[in-house]
A and B are shown apart, each in its own frame.
Chain A
C-alpha cells in the first residue's frame, strides 16, 4: 500500500489517479482532513474508491493525528509514501508556512521511517527552493546562501532537508515542479493561484511595474506534466536519491516574450484591445521597491491591495534563473512541454471564464 498526501489537491490528486490507473492491483491510503472533501475529490478524479483507503489525519497534528489502529495498519502495510500535501500560499508568515510544510513533512518522514516496509519517500517540493539564486539551477541541493523571496520557498527548502535525512531502508526522491498554471495544454484551470491573480491584475491594467529583466526566463508547467512525471517516477528505482526539476527548462519563455504573447492573446477580445492597456514596465528591483513604497504612501486601497498581493512572489522574477532539467528529461525520456505550447491556451481560458474561481473566493 502507498500513502499519498495532498490527494484532494491538484498535483496529489493527479498523481493518485495515475498511480491507480497504472497498476490495477495497487492500493492507496490517502491522508485527508475531511472525509466529505475526499468524497468530492474522489468523484472529480474518477478514482476506484474500493482501492483507496481514506485516512483521517492532519499534517498539523502530532503523529499526523492518526488513531492508534490506523497508524498500526499503515506501519504494517505501507511500502511507499508520496508526500504532495503543502501550504502553497505565498503570503503566509514563516511560522505558518513551516507548520504545514516543515513540521508536517517531519511527521510524514517519521511515519515513513517507522514503517519497516517503506522503501521510497517521494516528495513534491518546488523549483523555487532555489530562492534568490540566479543563473543555472542544478538538480541537487543548491544550498541556502542567497535566501528566499517568501516563506513558502524557505519552508519547502527546509522540508527537503528532512526528506533527505529519512534514513534506513527508505530511499527518497525529490520532485521540484515550476509554477503550475493550468491543468493541461488545453489551458483549463481547476485551481487558481497567485499567477492567475497576477494575470487578472494585468488584464485590468493594474500592474504598472514588474521587477526583472526582459530576458528573464519564466518557467511554468502544466499539472498534467507534473502528475504524469511524479506518477511515472515516484516508485522507480533509478531515481533514488535524486532531485528532478519538473520545469520547462529550456522551454521557458522570456518575461517580455510572455507579456507579448499574453497581450496578443487577449487582444483577440476587441473590448480589451480598445482599452490599449500598456504592458508593465520591467524594472530593476530597487526601482520596483521605490514604486511599491510610493503606492503604499499615496495610492488608493485597490492599487495598494494589488501591489501587496504581487509583493509575495513577483520579486522572484528579479532573480533570473534557468532550471536545469537534464536529470528529469533523462528519467522521463522526453523534454518537458515548452511554455509557449500551453500559455496561449491558458490565457485564452482566463479570457473566456474571466477568473470565476477568484471571484468565488472573494465572495466567500
Chain B
C-alpha cells in the first residue's frame, strides 16, 4: 500500500499581533498575564483587517507557489474552519456575517471561492466543520484515505480560524491566534510520510462549556491514549520519536502530558508557543514547517503531531519527516 505524505506546508498570519499586556489592557484575557506568561505565552496574532478567507487564500497561494504545483493536478480541495459567510467578511465585521444566514447569502462559501480563485478547476470540494482545532487533521485523514484507495493523487487542505478581533483571546488558559494553514497531501512522496493517523471523538463532551470540568479531567487520559496509539499504529516505539510537534497550548499541560507518555521535555518542539500562541487553524503544521526550516527536525526523523479539538476531539499523526 502506498504511504501518502504531506508534500508541503504553508501558513499565513494576520499582520497585527498583540502582547499579553496589550490583550489584558483591552480586556481580552480572563487570567492574569503573569499566569499566562508562566504557561509560556507572550504574543498572539489578531486579524483586524483580514478575513479568514483572505488568510486562507494567502496560505494556499504561498503553498502552491512554493511547491510549484500544477493546479490541474489537484484532485480535491478540503476547506475547514471559519464557516460560510463569516469567513468572507473582515474580522472587524464578523458579527454582520451572521445576518447572511437569514438569506440565500448563506450559500456563499469560502471553499468554492477558493477553488475558483486558486484555479483548481479539477478539484472536488469538501468542507469540514465542527472539529475545532483538529480540522486540519481531519482533512489530512480524509485526503490520506482517498490517496490510499487511489481515488485521488493530490489534495489541498486549507483551514482558517479566527475570533473576532475584539473577542476574548483566551481559551482554557491558552492564548489563541488567528491564522490559516494550507497543506498538500499527496499519494506518495519521500518527505513527511504519514505513517499513522488516529482520531478519537467523545460526543459526551459536546456541550463544552457545561462540561468544562469533565473535559479538563478527560484531556490527559485520552491524550495519552491517542499519542500512544498513533505511535503503536506506526509500528514505532516511543523511544523512536525524535520530536513531538505540539498544538501550542500551555507549556504546563505539555510538561504533564510528556511525562505521561514518557517522552523527555527536550523532544517537544515548543519554540512557537510564546511567539505564535495557539493557532486554532492548525499550529502543529505551522510548527512542523518551522522546525524543518530551522533544522531541528531532520529528514527521516519520526515525529508525532498531536492536537485536541476543544470539546470532543483528540487526534494525532505519526509522520516521517
Quick one: which of A191-213 are within 8 Å of B by CB? 204-209
In the complex the two chains form, what is the Cα distance from A160 to B47 in whole Å? 68
A206 B214 Cβ-Cβ under 8 A: yes
Stretch at the interface among A10-18, A147-155, A281-289: A281-289
In the complex, chain B residues whose CB is within 8 Å of the CB of A270: none
Main secondary structure of the interface of B (DSSP, over half): helix
Which range contains the number of B residues in contact with the other chain? 20 to 34
Interface residues of A in 110-146 (CB under 8 A from B): none
**Of B148-156, B218-226, B278-286, the one with at least 4 CB within 8 A of chain A:** B218-226
Verify if A299 is at the interface (C-beta below 8 Å from B): yes
A298: chain B residues within 8 A (beta carbon): 31, 35, 173
B213 A283 Cβ-Cβ under 8 A: no
Could you tell me the distance between the alpha carbons of A207 and B218 in the complex, rounded to whole angstroms?
8
Beta-carbon contact of A278 and B256 below 8 Å: no
Q: Name, among B213, B222, B225, the residue most crowded by chain A CB atoms within 10 Å (CB to CB).
A: B213
Partner of A276, one of B173, B204, B224: B204
B66 at the interface (CB under 8 A from A): no
The reply to whether B202 and A294 contact each other, CB–CB distance below 8 Å, is no
Q: B124 at interface (Cβ–Cβ under 8 A)?
A: no
Question: In the complex, what residue of chain A is closest to B200 when comparing beta carbons?
Answer: A276
CA gap between A290 and B219 in the complex, in Å: 15
Pair A290/B255 contact, Cβ less than 8 Å: yes
- Whether A309 sits at the interface, judged by CB under 8 Å, is no
- Whether a CB of chain A sits under 8 angstroms from the CB of B18 is no
Q: Contact: B216 with A279, CB < 8 Å?
A: no
Q: List, in ascending order, chain A residues with CB within 8 A of B213's CB.
A: 206, 299-300, 302-303, 306
Q: Is the CB of A281 within 8 A of B214?
A: no
> B1 an interface residue at 8 Å Cβ cutoff?
no
Query: CA A275 – CA B212 in complex, angstroms?
Result: 15
Interface membership of B217, Cβ < 8 A: yes
A291 at the interface (CB under 8 A from B): yes
> Which residue from A204, A283, A297 sits with its C-beta under 8 Å from B214?
A204
B260 at the interface (CB under 8 A from A): yes
What residue in chain B is nearest A201 (Cβ atoms)? Answer: B217
**In contact, A281 and B220 (Cβ under 8 angstroms):** yes
Give the number of residues in A that approach B within 8 Å (Cβ atoms): 29
Q: How far is the CB of A266 from chain B (nearest CB, A)?
A: 14
Please give the distance in Å from A309's CB to the nearest CB on chain B.
14
Is the C-beta of A36 less than 8 angstroms from some C-beta in chain B? no
> Does A37 count as interface, using CB distance less than 8 angstroms?
no
Cα–Cα, bound, A207→B217 (Å): 6
Residues B252 and A279 in contact, CB atoms below 8 Å apart: no
In the complex, what residue of chain A is closest to B220 when comparing beta carbons? A208
Residue of B nearest to A202 (CB): B217
The yes or no answer to B253 lying at the interface (CB within 8 A) is yes
Distance, CA A274 to CA B203, complexed state (A) = 9
Given contacts A283-B260, A297-B35, A300-B212, contact A208 B202 (CB under 8 A): no
Q: In the complex, how many angstroms separate the beta carbon of B166 from the nearest chain A beta carbon?
A: 24
B314: nearest residue on chain A (CB-CB)?
Answer: A278
Contact B259 A290 (CB under 8 A): yes
Q: Which of B35, B253, B259 has the most chain A CB within a 10 Å cutoff?
A: B259
The residue on B at minimum CB distance from A304 is B213
Asked if A53 CB lies within 8 Å of chain B CBs, one says: no
A-B pairs with beta carbons under 8 Å apart, 14 shown: A205-B214, A205-B218, A208-B217, A208-B221, A275-B202, A276-B202, A278-B218, A279-B221, A281-B260, A290-B252, A290-B256, A291-B256, A300-B213, A306-B217
Apart from A206-B213, A299-B213, A306-B213, 6 more pairs, CB < 8 Å: A205-B217, A205-B218, A207-B217, A287-B260, A290-B259, A298-B31
Chain A to chain B: the 3 pairs with minimum beta-carbon distance, closest first:
A278-B221, A287-B259, A208-B217
